[in-house]
Amino acid sequence: MIAIIISACLAADPGVCRDYRIPLAQTIDMANCVAFAPPHFVKWAKRYPDWEIKRWRCTTSSVEDL
């Protein structure tokens, strides 16, 4: 399974950061993750308005990690 890892920090306190995992459909492979990732950022930003995305990456992950 492929997941997007978003590393984000609080806008009000940039020293407080955390990683968020967004699992992708099982049909998405690592090569296509980059193309499918950007729409997830918009949804994520609406859900977590106090956080700012600092970086992101695609990674393989097991179901237990999510």
What per-residue confidence (pLDDT) applies to 26? 85
**pTM for the whole thing?**
0.82
For residues 38 and 1, which has the higher predicted lDDT (pLDDT)? 38
What per-residue confidence (pLDDT) applies to 43? 94
d(CA 8, CA 6): 6
Nearest to 7 by CA among 58, 47, 43: 58
Write out pLDDT tens, residues 4-40. 999 999 999 999 999 999 998 888 888 899 988 999 9
Contacts of 38-43 spanning 24+ positions with Cβ under 8 A = 40/4, 41/6
Write out pLDDT tens, residues 40-63. 999 999 999 999 999 999 998 665
Task: Name, in order, each residue with C-beta under 8 angstroms of 20's C-beta and a sequence gap of 6 or more.
Answer: 5, 6, 8, 44, 48
